[in-house]
Structure 1
Amino acid sequence: MKRIVFFLFLLITPFAKAQLLYDAPTQNLVLEAIDHIYNYEFGAVEPLARQIRAKYPNHPVNPLLKAIQLHWQYLPVKDNKAMSGQYQSYLQECLNKAKVLEKDVKTRPEAAFFSMAGHGYIALIHNYNDDKIKAASEGKKAYNYVMDGFKYMERNPEFYFSSGLYNYYVIRYPEDHPIVKPLILFFKDGNREEGLRQMDIAARKGIFTRTESAFYLARIFLKHELRYEKASNYLSTLTQKYPNNPIFLMKNIEALLLLGQYDEAQPFLERFKRRTDKFFPIASHTFEGIVEEKHLKHDGAASKAYQAALRQPFDSEYTKEYHAFAYAGLARIALRAGDRAKATLYYKKAEELAEYKALIKEIRAYLK
């Protein structure tokens, strides 16, 4: 399940228990390595990883760190056959080594974390491939590990992230994807507001989970909760800390545009437009279209920008919604031109893609 299993990004919390709990120097090495990955400084990771391996050669932290790097370095890793194979091999190695830790009661909590991370990333691959049944099934394998995390929250704020994600998405995900409802029928009940509160605690008090907590809270506030200012606050902090991360930069621009802060967004957009690789131009063109349409009131330029975005294939995780934004923008432009037939066509195309609550509301208001 796309979001419930995003507890996978607990990727770092395991270091807070068992062997690494009392090893502050190694914790710092792991944290530094993760920060380099977030900031796209991949060449700086291996020297740190080598030191971690020297001290903990059989620990699941090593393959998981490799998998995390591949996830970001070859984003989206699913589209790179060679790297995707390595990625899944590292995840399986992580699970195998976590099983060894699970045999000892003293290292069982640590094993639970690495098992959650491994199963979560595998579920993410299934979800990227639009196989929601397999993704949900993988999530079920991790269910007991997630439940264990609830027991450790009060002792360690890192666990607030996994518990918060679960509480929120075990409610939200089946609302958006009814096909998975039978699979989670016997899952522990969730609570959306409690989930948001728990993730906020992790974003403020967590050491290793702070970044992912902030990022996924921001995405929730953009997509589901329509609390754009809160999303912008989180994303502004992330963009400052990790200036080389194009995903954080992209979402920060999005939040500013949804807030109507066009002038504030412009310098970030100019910087982002230099990223002409992967799926980033789709976002750049869509953002330009929004600025031209809503800020500068240039429908002609906006239409060209939206059409440019639509000429490129989207990534299901990161840029699908920007195609929906572009179609909706073209629909609004058609309406202002008095062409209701074209507006209807564009809104129907947007409806096929849209997942953001505000955009769905706009589309349905017109098509009703």
Structure 2
Amino acid sequence: MKRNILLFKGNTSKIKNSILAHFLQFFLFLFAFCFVSPTAHTQILYDIPTQNLVLEAIDHIYNYEFGEVEPVARQIRAKYPNHPVNSMLKAMQLQWQYLPVKDNKGVSGQYLSLLHDCLAKAKVLEKNEKTRPEAAFFSMAGHGYIALMHNYNGDKLKAVSEAKQAYDYVMEGFKYMDKNPEFYFSSGLYNYYVIRYPEDHPIVKPMLFFFKDGNREEGLRQMDVAARKGVFTRTESAFYLARIFLKHELRYERAGVYLASLTQKYPNNPIFLMKYTEALLLLNKYEEAKPYLERLTKRTDKFFPIIWRTFEGLIQEKHLKNDQEAVKFYQAALRQSYDDEYTKEYHAFSYAGLARIALRAGDRKKAIGYYKKVEELAEYKALLKEAKDFFR
């Protein structure tokens, strides 16, 4: 099937809000956490010393060593002052350093400016056929991140516009996989989610007539190629595969393998630590999870208390069989507002735990209320199945 660009030219105000929201979210699945890793395909591709500098800067960012980034970035700028890699590196740093960047008003403006600067510099590269693959990658990344920002700020129409432009470059990336393994990531992500997303959200199925066909297993294979062979996208490919195995595929062992490696390589990264702890808990490896959970409990900032309190609740409920203590942790997690991007699912985990405890206490009415909240919040296949089985 061929995508029809006219889909985006109609009067979008006539599209029902629910359909628009799901349609946009389908696009954004292609970009959430996806393209934070910059790359270059002409100058830097053949400049191994500069490649190593970029990788060094990226490793510092992933490991939360933000003070170490600028001396390395300065060397890259000195050699390639007008290259989009510079803006993308800085945007990547802001994204991780001020996570979630959308909530930091003092930084989010700078973040968007860097992304627009990246796009402007990529446009220059786009004019030359030899640098077109390089331009496509940076344009895909820039438009994708801007789409995410507009989405989380509630401006759906702007987000759709940016996502549409990013989509064009995703399609272009299919042509470049054989030339550069970095594009296995975007191509694999598309192949997977163009099948998976409508399975989870049937409301978007009529719109998929306009999209290129996908292949879920091929998408997983392509992302694994990127995780093994990619230079700049290796870390994000591994992380996103782990999230897919946790969220959709219920293959917790596979997720644990990727996350164990990431946590070992980047011990200071709390997001990798968070997901690895989650994988261990879903595998019922409670004792193995404890030292990682102890590290998480030291984070009292931002949304981290939601995460570790939910994990503590799971251990109390499922490992220690102490429902009373589990309720305290679950309720404490729910008292803090969730973040759509990072902690919404942990609210769903907490509500599911409270539902199970209510059922054991013989309070079906409470369980009904809790499982309704799970249906409202959850995207994890296991949680949705648990709620569905209860109401069946």
**TM-score normalised according to structure 1 size:** 0.96
Superposed CA offset, 1:115-171 (max 9, x none): 011011112213333555543432221223212221221232221111101111222
Structure 2 unaligned residues grouped into runs of 5+: 1-26
The number of equivalent residue pairs is 366
- Does structure 1 retain, via aligned residues, the 8 Å contact 2:310–2:333? yes
Residue of structure 1 in register with 2:328 after alignment: 304
- Does structure 1 retain, via aligned residues, the 8 Å contact 2:34–2:240? no
Whether 1:158 aligns to 2:187 is no
1: CA distance, partners of 2:63 / 2:159: 28
- Does structure 1 retain, via aligned residues, the 8 Å contact 2:33–2:240? no
2: CA distance, partners of 1:134 / 1:214: 30
CA 1:164–1:145 in 2, change beyond 3 Å: closer, same or farther?
same
Residue of structure 2 in register with 1:20 after alignment: 44
2: CA distance, partners of 1:76 / 1:20: 30
Residue of structure 2 in register with 1:237 after alignment: 261
- Does structure 1 retain, via aligned residues, the 8 Å contact 2:36–2:88? no
Residue of structure 1 in register with 2:168 after alignment: 144
Q: Partner amino acid for 1:221?
A: F
- Does structure 2 retain, via aligned residues, the 8 Å contact 1:136–1:183? no
Q: Partner amino acid for 1:268?
A: Y
Residue of structure 1 in register with 2:149 after alignment: 125
Residue of structure 2 in register with 1:34 after alignment: 58
CA-based RMSD of the aligned residues comes to: 1.6
Task: State how 1:1-368 maps to structure 2 within 5 Å.
Answer: 1-6=27-32, 8-9=34-35, 11-12=37-38, 14-15=39-40, 17-129=41-153, 134-177=158-201, 184-368=208-392
Q: Secondary structure at the match of 1:155?
A: coil
Deviation at 1:185, TM superposition (A): 3.7
Superposed CA offset, 1:188-234 (max 9, x none): 11111110000011111112111000000000001111001100110
Q: Secondary structure at the match of 2:37?
A: helix
- Does structure 1 retain, via aligned residues, the 8 Å contact 2:118–2:138? yes
**TM-score normalised according to structure 2 size:** 0.90
- Does structure 2 retain, via aligned residues, the 8 Å contact 1:63–1:90? yes
Superposed CA offset, 1:59-112 (max 9, x none): 111111111111101100000111111111100010011001111111111111
1: CA distance, partners of 2:167 / 2:372: 37
Q: Secondary structure at the match of 2:31?
A: helix
4+ residue runs over 6 A deviation? none
Q: Partner amino acid for 2:31?
A: V
Greater shift after overlay, 134-143 or 55-64? Answer: 134-143
- Does structure 2 retain, via aligned residues, the 8 Å contact 1:164–1:194? yes
Q: Partner amino acid for 1:11?
A: S
- Does structure 2 retain, via aligned residues, the 8 Å contact 1:8–1:119? no
Query: Quick one: percent identity of the two aligned structures?
Result: 76
- Does structure 2 retain, via aligned residues, the 8 Å contact 1:7–1:120? no
- Does structure 2 retain, via aligned residues, the 8 Å contact 1:163–1:198? yes
Structure 1 unaligned residues grouped into runs of 5+: none
Superposed CA offset, 1:262-310 (max 9, x none): 0110110011110111100100000000000000000000000000000
